[in-house]
C-alpha cells in the first residue's frame, strides 16, 4: 500500500539480496547434481565420465551409508529427546521467582555461545578423559571403574556433548514462550480449582506445544549436519561408530577425493533436510500472517 | 489559499472498490468533516488527498491544480495521524522542526516558527523533551504543532482524538476548532464520532460503502437528511423508523421521528401507545425505550426528569412538522 | 500482578535454579580454571579446584608458540566482514519488504529462509572445487563470502521483523513533512531501527565467529580462524590441557560477553519470529 514510485524503489532494493541468494542456492546445487552423475576422483584427474545413477547406487548400498544414516537418526533423536525432556522443567524452574535470576540465566545460556570445537575438546579431555578427566575421578570417588567414554560409548559421548550445547537453546525458547503465557489464564485456572499439576497439563503444556515444535524443527536442521564435534573428538570412529551423513560425505570428498560419490551423498542430505524444512517453513509462514 | 476539489475520485485495491467515485468541493478556510461507519472509506479518501495512496481514477485539484501525480510532500498539505506518528528519537522541537528542516529553511527562522507554534499550543516548557516523556494530550499537541508550523494549504486530520480519554477529547475538540478558525486554514477531519462531526464541522461529508451519501452543514443533515442512512447515522439517540400502515398513511415506505420529537404523555389517549421497557434517568434528560407493539421499539427523549418506570403505559405523540418520510429506495421525500 | 509466593518456595526454587545453572556452566568454569594451572596440575588426579598454583604462563605460551593473534585476527576479520557485508545487502531488502510489501513478499521471505535450511554438506563438493580453482581456498575473502551468504537469510529475517515493528504512520508523517526517500532513511528510519540493527549485528557476529563447518573445510593455516586453531589441539600426541584451555578461554570470552548482551534478541533471531 503505497504509491507506485515507492514500490518501484522497493523492488530495486530487494533485487541484490534475491539475486545473490538465488545464485547461492542454484549454482552449487546444480553442480552437485552434475557431479553426482560423474565418475570423478581428484586423485585420478582426467578420468571423468558420465555414469548416470551409478554413484547413487554405490552410495546408498554402501554399508557405511546405512551405518551413518542410523548414527545420524540416533544422534538427532537422542539430542532432541534430551534437550526437550530437560529443557521443559528447566524453563519452568527459571520461570519461578528465583533470586539472582539474571545470573542463573547467563550461566544456563553460556554453552550455546561456545564454539563447537572448544566444547568438544573441553569435554573430550578435561571431563571425559579415561585417566585424568574429572568424570573418571568422580567415578573413582564412588568406587566405580572409570569409563573410557570415547571407546566404550563413542556415539553416546558425542550425543552428550551436543546435548550440552543445545540444551540452552531449547530452554531459552521455552522460557520465552512461558513468559508470554498470560498470568491471568493461570489465575483463572486457579479460581476454577485446578491443582498445580492440572494447570501444567491443561494450560501450560498446550501453550508450549508450538514452541516445542519449533525447537524440534530448528534443532533437527542443525543436528542433521553436525560436523565439528565429530571432527575433533572421534574422527568418525572407532570404525564407523560415530560417522554421521555429514561426516561420511566429508570423508569421501576431502579424504578419499571421490567427488561423484560425495555429491550423491550431498543430495541425500539435501533431501533429508528438505523434509524437515517443509514443516518448519509452513509453521513460520502461518505465523507470518498472524 | 486552500481550495480542494475532488472530481470522480476512485480507488480500488485489486478487485475491491473502496471509493466508488467521489465529487466534492471544499471551500478555502472551511472545516470539513468526513464521517461514516468503519470501513466506509473515509480514511482512504483522506489518504488519497494526502497523496499517501495513488488514485485509481478521477482528479484531485488543490487551488485548481490537479495533484494526482504530485508526491505528498509537494502538495502543501500537512497531516495529523491517529497514532500521532511522532518521531520517537527526536525532541518536541525536533519533531515540529522536521518539516521545515526538510524544506531547507534557515535555522533562525525555523527556531522562530517552532517557538511560535509551541507558544500557541502551550508546549514551550516541553520543547526539549522526547515524545515518550509526554502525556497523551501533549503528544497530540505536538502532532498538531508539526502540522501548523509548515503553514500548509490545508490540514488533514485522521481520527486525531480517538486515543484520548473522554474529558480530554472534549477539550481538544474545542482547541482544534479554535485554532483552525484563528489560522483560517482549510481543514479536513476524519472521524467515526458523529458528535465530533456535528460540533466541529462547517460542513459534513457522510460516507457509506465508498460513496458520499450527503454533503452539507451539520444542521442541514439533522433537519433534512437525504436518505435513511444519513437520518439514522446523524443524531443521538438514533432516529426511530416506522414502516407499514402508519407510513403508508403519510404516503411513504418508511417514516422517521427523532426521539426528541416524540411528546411523552402518561396514560394518554392519542399517538402511539406502548409500555416502558427501560427508563434511563440522567437528570438533565430522560430516555425511554418503549415497546409500542406494531410500531416496534421506540426511543423517546424528554428534556428534564420524568417519573416513569418499566411497565408504565405511555403514549408517544410525534411532532407532525418533524416527521421524515422516505420512499422505496430510502430517499427522502420532500413536500 | 505479582503472585504471593511463600518464602519457602522461593528458597527452594532459588537453590534449585542456582544448582542447575552451576552444573550447566561448570564445563566452562572448569576450562577457565585449567587455563590458570600448570600443565602438570591440569592433568593431576585428584584435581585441585581452587588451591593450585595460579599462573598466567599458558596465555603467554599460547601466543608465543602458536601465533594466537594471527588466528584471532582472522576470526575478527571474517566474522566482522561477513556480518557487515550481509547487513549492507540485507538492510535495503528488509526495508523494501517491510514497508512496501506485495502479495509475493511472504513467499520471498519463506524462500530466503529455505535457503538457510540447505545443509552445507550438500554443497561442500562444488564449493570446495570452485574455491580451489579460483584460489579462494584458505583465504579470508573466501570465508567472508561464504559466511556472508550463509547468514544473509537470517540477517534479512531479523531486520524484517524489527522493521515491521516501526509504525508505518511515522514514515508517512516524514513523507508528508517533505522528506525524500533518502532523508527518510537517514533521519527517521535509521535512528528508530538502531536497536534492531545492533542486535542483528551482534547475533550474526556470534554465529559467524562460531561457524565450524566451512571454516574447518575451507581453511587450514593462512586464513584459519579460531575454530580451526582450536581444532588443531585435537591431535592426540600433545596433551597440553592448560594451553588448550587458555586458547579456548580467549576464543570464547569475547563472544560470551556479546552473547550475554544479546540474549533477549537471540530467540527472535533463531526462531525466525516463530516464538515471541
What pLDDT digit, counting tens, does each position of C153-162 carry?
A: 888 888 888 8
The verdict on C182 touching B (C-beta cutoff 8 Å) is no
Class of domain C68-271: mainly alpha
- Residue A21: strand, helix, or coil: helix
User: What mean pLDDT comes out for the span A109-134?
Assistant: 86
Side-chain half-sphere CA neighbours of A129 within 13 A = 17
Q: How far apart are CA C209 and CA C76, in angstroms?
A: 8
pLDDT score recorded for residue A255 = 79
- E strand or H helix at B299, and its extent? strand B297-303
What CATH number matches the domain at B240-326, 2.120.10.80, 3.40.50.300, 2.40.37.10, 2.40.50.140? Answer: 2.40.50.140
Distance (Å) from the alpha carbon of C180 to chain B's nearest alpha carbon? 8
| Chain B residues whose beta carbon lies within 8 Å of the beta carbon of residue C169 | 81-85
Distance (Å) from the alpha carbon of C110 to chain B's nearest alpha carbon? 24
Residue C175 is nearest to which of B73, B82, B83, comparing CB atoms?
Answer: B73
User: CB contacts < 8 Å between A and C, how many?
Assistant: 323
Burial of A196 (0-12, 13-18, 19+ CB in 10 A): exposed
- Indicate which CATH number applies to the domain containing A221: 1.10.3720.10
Q: Show me where the domains of chain C are located.
A: 7-59, 68-271
Q: How far apart are CA A240 and CA A248, in angstroms?
A: 9
Q: How far apart are CA B191 and CA B179, in angstroms?
A: 18
As a whole number of Å, the end-to-end CA separation of chain C is 21
Higher-confidence residue of B221 and A188: namely B221
pLDDT score recorded for residue A3 = 64
Tell me the average pLDDT of chain B: 90
A3:B54 CB<8 A: yes
Distance (Å) from the alpha carbon of C93 to chain B's nearest alpha carbon? 22
Is residue A214 situated within a structural domain? yes
Count of other CB atoms within 10 angstroms of residue A143: 6
Distance (Å) from the alpha carbon of C105 to chain A's nearest alpha carbon? 10
Residue A5 is nearest to which of B13, B53, B71, comparing CB atoms?
Answer: B71
pLDDT at A269 over 50: yes
Interface of C with A in 198-257 (CB under 8 A): 206, 209-210, 212-213, 216-217, 226-228, 230-231, 233-234, 239, 241, 244-245, 248, 251-252, 255-256
Residue from B49, B52, B70, B73 to probe the interface with A (highest A Cβ count within 10 Å): B52
pLDDT score recorded for residue C38 = 78
Residue C176 is nearest to which of B78, B87, B103, comparing CB atoms?
Answer: B78
| Chain C residues whose beta carbon lies within 8 Å of the beta carbon of residue B88 | 170, 192
Classify domain B4-232 at the CATH topology level.
Answer: Rossmann fold (3.40.50)
pTM for this entry:
0.77
Reported as a pLDDT band with limits 50, 70 and 90, residue C4 is low
Task: Give CATH 2.40.50.140 domain extents, chain B.
Answer: 240-326
Q: How far apart are CA B247 and CA B237, in angstroms?
A: 21
Q: Which residue has the cell 520471498?
A: C108
What chain C residue is nearest to B72 in terms of C-alpha separation?
C176
**Of the spans B203-217, B241-255, B310-324, which averages the highest pLDDT?**
B203-217
User: What mean pLDDT comes out for the span C160-186?
Assistant: 84
Bridging pattern class, strands B313-318 and B272-281: antiparallel
- Residue B127: strand, helix, or coil: coil
pLDDT at C189 over 70: yes
**Residue C95: C-alpha distances to residues B34, C158, C181, C197, C218 (Å):** 33, 11, 12, 12, 33
Q: How far apart are CA A168 and CA C55, in angstroms?
A: 32
pLDDT per residue over B291-330, tens digit each?
988 788 899 999 988 888 898 888 888 888 889 999 988 8
| Chain B residues whose beta carbon lies within 8 Å of the beta carbon of residue A5 | 71
Q: How far apart are CA A14 and CA A8, in angstroms?
A: 10
Cell triple for B134: 509526554
What chain B residue is nearest to C103 in terms of C-alpha separation?
B14
The verdict on B151 touching C (C-beta cutoff 8 Å) is no
Domain that holds residue A249: 50-268
Distance (Å) from the alpha carbon of B201 to chain A's nearest alpha carbon? 29
DSSP letter at C233 equals: G
- Please count the residues of chain C: 276
DSSP letter at C274 equals: S
Residue C170 is nearest to which of B72, B78, B87, comparing CB atoms?
Answer: B87
Close Cβ partners of C164 (under 8 Å, ≥ 6 residues apart): C98
Which residues does residue B68 pair with via DSSP β-bridges, in sequence order? none
Q: Which residues of B112-142 are buried (b: 16+ CB within 10 A; e: fewer)?
A: ebbbebbebbebeebbeebbeebeebbbbbb
For B32-41, B187-196, C259-268, which range has the lowest pLDDT when averaged over its residues?
C259-268
Beta sheet of B254-257, edge-to-edge order: B240-243, B254-257, B324-326
Close Cβ partners of C21 (under 8 Å, ≥ 6 residues apart): A103, A104, A105, A107, A108
B73:C188 CB<8 A: no
A3:B13 CB<8 A: no
- Please count the residues of chain A: 290
For A142-151, A182-191, B311-320, C159-168, which range has the lowest pLDDT when averaged over its residues?
A182-191
pLDDT per residue over A159-174, tens digit each?
999 999 999 989 988 9
Count of other CB atoms within 10 angstroms of residue B165: 9
B79:C172 CB<8 A: yes
The interface predicted TM-score of the complex, written ipTM, equals: 0.83
Distance (Å) from the alpha carbon of B247 to chain A's nearest alpha carbon? 47
Reported as a pLDDT band with limits 50, 70 and 90, residue B266 is confident
User: What mean pLDDT comes out for the span B110-129?
Assistant: 92
Q: How far apart are CA C83 and CA A111, in angstroms?
A: 22
The verdict on C89 touching A (C-beta cutoff 8 Å) is yes
pLDDT score recorded for residue C274 = 64
- E strand or H helix at B317, and its extent? strand B313-318
Reported as a pLDDT band with limits 50, 70 and 90, residue A1 is very low
Q: How far apart are CA B318 and CA C5, in angstroms?
A: 65
Domain count, chain A: 1
Is residue A150 situated within a structural domain? yes
Which residues does residue A255 pair with via DSSP β-bridges, in sequence order? none
Phi, psi for residue B275 in degrees, rounded to 5:
-115, 135
pLDDT at A2 over 70: no
B13:A5 CB<8 A: no
Q: What angle do CA C248, C249, C251 make, to 5 degrees?
A: 60
pLDDT score recorded for residue C236 = 56
Q: How far apart are CA A99 and CA C255, in angstroms?
A: 26
pLDDT at B157 over 50: yes
A3:B51 CB<8 A: yes
C188:B87 CB<8 A: yes
pLDDT score recorded for residue B63 = 92
- Note the helical H segments in chain A: 4-36, 54-61, 63-94, 101-109, 116-122, 134-141, 149-152, 154-179, 183-191, 196-199, 205-223, 228-233, 245-254, 259-289
| Chain A residues whose beta carbon lies within 8 Å of the beta carbon of residue B51 | 3
pLDDT per residue over C94-133, tens digit each?
888 888 878 788 888 888 877 777 778 878 888 888 888 8
pLDDT per residue over A84-99, tens digit each?
999 999 998 988 888 8
User: What mean pLDDT comes out for the span C164-191?
Assistant: 84
Q: How far apart are CA B60 and CA B76, in angstroms?
A: 13
Which residues does residue C134 pair with via DSSP β-bridges, in sequence order? none
Distance (Å) from the alpha carbon of A2 to chain B's nearest alpha carbon? 6
Residue from A1, A4, A7 to probe the interface with B (highest B Cβ count within 10 Å): A1
Residue from B54, B74, B81, B144 to probe the interface with C (highest C Cβ count within 10 Å): B81
Amino acid at each position: 500500500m503505497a504509491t507506485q514510485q515507492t514500490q518501484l524503489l522497493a523492488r530495486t532494493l530487494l533485487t541484490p539480496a534475491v539475486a545473490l541468494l538465488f545464485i547461492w542456492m542454484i549454482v552449487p546445487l546444480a553442480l552437485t547434481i552434475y557431479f553426482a552423475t560423474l565418475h570423478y576422483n581428484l586423485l585420478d584427474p582426467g578420468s571423468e565420465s558420465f555414469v548416470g545413477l551409478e554413484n547413487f547406487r554405490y552410495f546408498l548400498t554402501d554399508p557405511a551409508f546405512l551405518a551413518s544414516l542410523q548414527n545420524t537418526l540416533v544422534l538427532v533423536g537422542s539430542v532432541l529427546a534430551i534437550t526437550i525432556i530437560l529443557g521443559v522443567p528447566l524453563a519452568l524452574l527459571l520461570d519461578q521467582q528465583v533470586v539472582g535470576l539474571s545470573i542463573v540465566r547467563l550461566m544456563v545460556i553460556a554453552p550455546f555461545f561456545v564454539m563447537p570445537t572448544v566444547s568438544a575438546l573441553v569435554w573430550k579431555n578435561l571431563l571425559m578423559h579415561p585417566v585424568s578427566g574429572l568424570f573418571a575421578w568422580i567415578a573413582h570417588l564412588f568406587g566405580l571403574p572409570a569409563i573410557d567414554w570415547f571407546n566404550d560409548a563413542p556415539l553416546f559421548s558425542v550425543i552428550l556433548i551436543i546435548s550440552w550445547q543445545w540444551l540452552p537453546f531449547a530452554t531459552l525458547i521455552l522460557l520465552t514462550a512461558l513468559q508470554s503465557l498470560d498470568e491471568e489464564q493461570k489465575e483463572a485456572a486457579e479460581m476454577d480449582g485446578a491443582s498445580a499439576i492440572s494447570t501444567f497439563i491443561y494450560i501450560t503444556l498446550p501453550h508450549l506445544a508450538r514452541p516445542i515444535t519449533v525447537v524440534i524443527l530448528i534443532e533437527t536442521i542443525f543436528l542433521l549436519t553436525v560436523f565439528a564435534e565429530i571432527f575433533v573428538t572421534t574422527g568418525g570412529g572407532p570404525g564407523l561408530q560415530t560417522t554421521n551423513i555429514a561426516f561420511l560425505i566429508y570423508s569421501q570428498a576431502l579424504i578419499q577425493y571421490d567427488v561423484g560419490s560425495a555429491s550423491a551423498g550431498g543430495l541425500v542430505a539435501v533431501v533429508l533436510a528438505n523434509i524437515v524444512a517443509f514443516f518448519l517453513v509452513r509453521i513460520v509462514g502461518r505465523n507470518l500472517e498472524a | 489559499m486552500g481550495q480542494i476539489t475532488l472530481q470522480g475520485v476512485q480507488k480500488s485495491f485489486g478487485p475491491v472498490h473502496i471509493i466508488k467515485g467521489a465529487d466534492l468541493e471544499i471551500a478555502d478556510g472551511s472545516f470539513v468533516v468526513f464521517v461514516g461507519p468503519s470501513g466506509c472509506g473515509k480514511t482512504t479518501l483522506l489518504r488519497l488527498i494526502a497523496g499517501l495512496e495513488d488514485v485509481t481514477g478521477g482528479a484531485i485539484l488543490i487551488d485548481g491544480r490537479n495533484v494526482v501525480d504530485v508526491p505528498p510532500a509537494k502538495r502543501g498539505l500537512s497531516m495529523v495521524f491517529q497514532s500521532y506518528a511522532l518521531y520517537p528519537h527526536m525532541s518536541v522541537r525536533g519533531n515540529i522542526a522536521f518539516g521545515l528542516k526538510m524544506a531547507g529553511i534557515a535555522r533562525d527562522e525555523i527556531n522562530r516558527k517552532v517557538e511560535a507554534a509551541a507558544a500557541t499550543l502551550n508546549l514551550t516548557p516541553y520543547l526539549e523533551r522526547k515524545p515518550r516523556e509526554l502525556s497523551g494530550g501533549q503528544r497530540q499537541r505536538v502532532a498538531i504543532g508539526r502540522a501548523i508550523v509548515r503553514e500548509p494549504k490545508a490540514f488533514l486530520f485522521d481520527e486525531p482524538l480517538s486515543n484520548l480519554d473522554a474529558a480530554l477529547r472534549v477539550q481538544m475538540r474545542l482547541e482544534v476548532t479554535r485554532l483552525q478558525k484563528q489560522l483560517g486554514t482549510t481543514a479536513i477531519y476524519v472521524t467515526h464520532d458523529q458528535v465530533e462531526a456535528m460540533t466541529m464541522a462547517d460542513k459534513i461529508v457522510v460516507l457509506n460503502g465508498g460513496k458520499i451519501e450527503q454533503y452539507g452543514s451539520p444542521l442541514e443533515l439533522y433537519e433534512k437528511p437525504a436518505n435513511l442512512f444519513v437520518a439514522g447515522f446523524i443524531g443521538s439517540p438514533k432516529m426511530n423508523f416506522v414502516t407499514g400502515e402508519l407510513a403508508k398513511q403519510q404516503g411513504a415506505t418508511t417514516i422517521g421521528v427523532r426521539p426528541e420529537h416524540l411528546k411523552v404523555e402518561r396514560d394518554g389517549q392519542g399517538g402511539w401507545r406502548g409500555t416502558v421497557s427501560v427508563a434511563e434517568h440522567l437528570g438533565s434528560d430522560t430516555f425511554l425505550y418503549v415497546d409500542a407493539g406494531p410500531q416496534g421499539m421506540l426511543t423517546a427523549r424528554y428534556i428534564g426528569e420524568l417519573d416513569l418506570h418499566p411497565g408504565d403505559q405511555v403514549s408517544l405523540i410525534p411532532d407532525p412538522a418533524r416527521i421524515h418520510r422516505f420512499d422505496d429506495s430510502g430517499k427522502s421525500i420532500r413536500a | 500482578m505479582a503472585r504471593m509466593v511463600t518464602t519457602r518456595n522461593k528458597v527452594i526454587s532459588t537453590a534449585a535454579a542456582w544448582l542447575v545453572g552451576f552444573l550447566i556452566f561448570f564445563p566452562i568454569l572448569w576450562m577457565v580454571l585449567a587455563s590458570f594451572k600448570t600443565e602438570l596440575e591440569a592433568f593431576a588426579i585428584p584435581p585441585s579446584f581452587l588451591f593450585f598454583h595460579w599462573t598466567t604462563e599458558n596465555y603467554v605460551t599460547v601466543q608465543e608458540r602458536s601465533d594466537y593473534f594471527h588466528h584471532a585476527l582472522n576470526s575478527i576479520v571474517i566474522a566482522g566482514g561477513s556480518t557487515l557485508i550481509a547487513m549492507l545487502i540485507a538492510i535495503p531488502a528488509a526495508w523494501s519488504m517491510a514497508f512496501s510489501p506485495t502479495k509475493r513478499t511472504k513467499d520471498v521471505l519463506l524462500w530466503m529462509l529455505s535457503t538457510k535450511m540447505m545443509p552445507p554438506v550438500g554443497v561442500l563438493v562444488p564449493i570446495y572445487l570452485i574455491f580451489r580453482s579460483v584460489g579462494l581456498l584458505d583465504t579470508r575473502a573466501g570465508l567472508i563470502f561464504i559466511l556472508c551468504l550463509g547468514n544473509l537469510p537470517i540477517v534479512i529475517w531479523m531486520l524484517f521483523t524489527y522493521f515491521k515493528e516501526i509504525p508505518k504512520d511515522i514514515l508517512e508523517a516524514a513523507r508528508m513533512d517533505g522528506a525524500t526517500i533518502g532523508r527518510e532513511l537517514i533521519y527517521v528510519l535509521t535512528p528508530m531501527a538502531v536497536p534492531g540493527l545492533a542486535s542483528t549485528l551482534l547475533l550474526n557476529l556470534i554465529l559467524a565467529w562460531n561457524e565450524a563447518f566451512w571454516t574447518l573445510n575451507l581453511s587450514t593455516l593462512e586464513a584459519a580462524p579460531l575454530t580451526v586453531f582450536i581444532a588443531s589441539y585435537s591431535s592426540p600426541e600433545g596433551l597440553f590441557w592448560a594451553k588448550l584451555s587458555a586458547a579456548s578461554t580467549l576464543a570464547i570470552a569475547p563472544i560470551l560477553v556479546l552473547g550475554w548482551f544479546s540474549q533477549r534478541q537471540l530467540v527472535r533471531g533463531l526462531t525466525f519470529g516463530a516464538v515471541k
